[in-house]
Amino acid sequence: MKILVTAFGPFGERSENASSLALAGLRKAFPKIRTRTLPVDAVIAPSRLKQAISLIRPDALLMLGEAGGSTEIRLETTAWNELDFRIPDVSGRQYMQRIIREGATPSMSSTLPLREIHSSIHSLGHPVTLSDDPGRYLCNQLFFVALDHLARNGITIPAGFIHLPLESDYSTRNAVEAISEVIRTLERREFKLSEP
């Protein structure tokens, strides 16, 4: 099973991003996963994600980001066709009350098996919640662009976004353990679907 996992680089005044820290650990735990660390750039990140999907042709897409102020792993249920940046991206763009793609649906739903993932993570003792508000910054933008791109190209795979707490609020070791369980859940699900 080819799983593409993405994370973001640092932004704002921070020198690191919890998602890229976790991604480094995931690469060690799962050498066969495909990964991309994307810049917090509203133009480059979506373009590189679509290129990666075309090149890798993944069987599942898992996008990671960080959520300051959160103490729980947030399984995002919904991507919104809206941009409203509270701070500029790394290139200085600050989109306000803007549509991501004209003519697209107002929102799209994660296609990850979220209930199963929630149960698996929770059973390991990790704080986890379902969230319908991924913000209106690049995490939401990438989430929506990914689902929209997959739908427009007739690609049906599990795809979704997970927010991690900042490393100062939740250790990278714990984040890696939790997301490792997400990957194992996807692999188990694929195995069940492929059984004769």
Distance, in Å, from the CA atom of 98 to the CA atom of 103, rounded to the nearest integer, reads 13
Q: Supply the Cα-derived Rg of the chain in whole angstroms.
A: 16
Instruction: Give the N- to C-terminal CA distance of the chain in Å, as an integer.
Output: 17
How far apart, in whole angstroms, are the C-alpha atoms of residue 143 and residue 12? 20
Distance CA(65)–CA(146), nearest Å, equals: 14
Catalytically annotated residue among 76, 118, 126, 149: 76
Does the active-site annotation cover 149?
no
**Residues ≥6 apart with Cβ < 8 Å to 129:** 72, 73, 74, 75, 118
* Candidates 118, 126, 139, 149; catalytic one: 139
Query: Of 118, 126, 149, 163, which residue is the catalytic one?
Result: 163
Is there a catalytic annotation at residue 139?
yes
Pairing assessment for the beta strands 73-76 and 159-164 based on DSSP bridges: antiparallel
Element holding 64 (H helix, E strand) = strand 60-66
- The answer to whether 60 touches 162, Cβ cutoff 8 Å, is no
Is 76 part of the annotated catalytic residue set? yes
Residue 115, token pair as written in the block:
């209930």
Active site members: 76, 139, 163
